[in-house]
Amino acid sequence: MRRLWILPFLVSLISCNSSETKSENKLEKAEKSEKVEILSQEKDKAADLAGRELQFVCACIKYEYVNEMTDEVIIRKAIEGMMSTLDLHSRYLNEKAFNSLKNLTEGEFGGLGIEFIMDDDGYIRVISAIDDTPAYKAGLKNGDLIVGVDGEYLGTNITDVEVIEKLRGKPGTSVKLKIIRERQAPFDVTIKRDLIKVKSVKAEVLDNIGYIRISTFDKNTSADIKKFIQENKKLSGIILDVRNNPGGLLDEAVAVSDLFLKNCKIVSTKGRTKDNSMEFFANGEDITNGLPIAVLINSGTASAPEILAGALRDNKRAVIIGTRSFGKGSVQKVIPLPFSEKTGIKLTIAKHYTPSGECIQGNGISPDIEAGYASIKKVDGVFLLREEIFKNALDRKETEKKHPDANKLPDSPMIKKNDSDKKENEELDFRKMSLRERAEKDYQLNKAFDTLKAINVYDKINGEKNNEK
Q: Please list the active-site residues.
A: 303, 314, 328
Q: How far is the C-alpha of 239 from the C-alpha of 205, rounded, in Å?
A: 10
Q: How far is the C-alpha of 249 from the C-alpha of 302, rounded, in Å?
A: 12
In sequence order, which ranges of 85-147 are alpha helices (DSSP H)?
95-102, 134-137
Q: What are the E-state strand segments in 354-424?
A: 369-370
CB count within 10 Å of CB 122 equals 14
Strands 209-214 and 237-241 come out as: parallel
List residues bridging with 442 in a β-sheet: 375
Q: How far is the C-alpha of 190 from the C-alpha of 196, rounded, in Å?
A: 17
- Reported as type and span, the H/E element at residue 119 is none
- Reported as type and span, the H/E element at residue 449 is helix 443-468
CA R_g for the chain? 31
What letter would DSSP give residue 128? E
Burial of 307 (0-12, 13-18, 19+ CB in 10 A): buried
Taking a C-beta distance cutoff of 8 angstroms, is the pair 191, 177 a contact? yes
Residues contacting 176, CB < 8 A, separation 6+: 148, 149, 150, 151, 188, 189, 190, 191
* One-letter amino acid for residue 346 of the chain: K
* One-letter amino acid for residue 464 of the chain: E
Q: How far is the C-alpha of 306 from the C-alpha of 128, rounded, in Å?
A: 14
Q: How far is the C-alpha of 146 from the C-alpha of 188, rounded, in Å?
A: 10
DSSP result, 106-124: SS--BB--EEEEE-TTS-E
CB count within 10 Å of CB 48 equals 10
